[in-house]
Structure 1
């Protein structure tokens, strides 16, 4: 099967990931406690994939496939959730623009390195200058988008720069979170290969994440939302995690067929273009931020970058 035929499905997954992020932002605002919001978001994912597995329980893994599974394969969901934790913990300290720019940059470069070196079971493609040039274009595009979405008022600028040096000391942790996000996609593909059944693999990947967030919420249960806060949760409030989970499931199925660089590049490009549209039109209750020239230039640079990564 031609790998390019999978690109539309990956683009849809990236768009849903962006919608899921906005849904989760509304959910976190309504439920007050970020750990409660994360638990509320991830639990339906586990339930949905568990039901799908019991509905379609075959094929099942054999002792041979289980024996070939690397010990780290079930950690893909946890690795990807590090970026979620980073957003919960750091985005208000460093600002949304720098946070997203750092995580996405680390994700792209790590994905290209995984493809080049053949890490975690991927086929080594060797160093190819054109995909790396594409990665560079995507990074430049991200810089344009991040700068175009930066704080505009003096109050926002002072708030975004609060912490100064302390905020910059968090940058290495955010870069690690972005790299782990790319690694998580590959680990999930390894898990799917060992467990054979994609629904079982998705369930095994998400259960540890949901349990971690639940555990953290139980040891840090405050603040709690009031009845008025809960009443503000939109009907689609619990669907943000499921929308984002489509990207994880796409990784389970497609990353070994199209390569980590192309998969993450397509996913991120669709994510950012959808995010620009969400902000421009104010969908899902988000504050309207018109798509200016900087954002559009950044999006076009990213599109050019993914063409170089995918074609070469």
Structure 2
């Protein structure tokens, strides 16, 4: 199988998982009492799952390399926490489709900016008319999901 195709399918499936995550965490929010508590439960379950997977795969971190990382490499989980809290809070108010569509729009906007500048050591991909048109289509999708 083509590695690029496999990667794209895996990422699409992961995106689908985030769409499933939003309503399940919104349901948890009702029982847990707040979106923060729902996110806490979500991350606890995710941490346990990752711990089990790490044991199965026998992965070991390179602590010397970890200590050499820049400060911003350590806060990825913070972004995830913001995402989960926002999704759990947004779904009951906006619905799953609009919440996810807005999140995708935000991801694409920040992604375009990060790509343009090659931020965090990633390869630079300048903003082009085609990329701006893609962003406009996503914004149009947000409007369509909101209106119809």
5+ residue gaps, structure 2: none
5+ residue gaps, structure 1: 1-91, 104-173
Check conservation: 2:22, 2:88, Cα contact below 8 A: yes
TM-score by length of 2: 0.85
SS of the residue corresponding to residue 247 of structure 1 reads helix
Structure 1 residues 184, 226: CA separation in 2 closer, same or farther (over 3 Å shift)? closer
Superposition CA RMSD, Å: 2.4
Between the two structures, name the one with larger relative contact order (CA 8 Å, sep ≥ 6).
1
Structure 1 residues 301, 209: CA separation in 2 closer, same or farther (over 3 Å shift)? same
How far does residue 276 in structure 1 lie from its aligned partner after superposition? 0.8
Matching residue of 1:219: 56
SS of the residue corresponding to residue 75 of structure 2 reads helix
Matching residue of 1:262: 98
1:94 aligns with 2:4: yes
Within the candidate set 293, 297, 303, 2:133 is matched to 297
TM-score by length of 1: 0.43
Structure 1 residues 211, 97: CA separation in 2 closer, same or farther (over 3 Å shift)? closer
Within the candidate set 20, 25, 43, 1:183 is matched to 20
Check conservation: 2:23, 2:96, Cα contact below 8 A: yes
How far does residue 272 in structure 1 lie from its aligned partner after superposition? 0.7
Matching residue of 1:238: 74
How far does residue 202 in structure 1 lie from its aligned partner after superposition? 1.7
Corresponding pairs, count? 147
How far does residue 251 in structure 1 lie from its aligned partner after superposition? 1.3
Q: Give runs of aligned pairs for residues 50-129 of structure 1, distance below 5 A.
A: 93-94=3-4, 98-99=8-9, 103=12
Check conservation: 2:19, 2:100, Cα contact below 8 A: yes
Structure 1 residues 263, 180: CA separation in 2 closer, same or farther (over 3 Å shift)? same
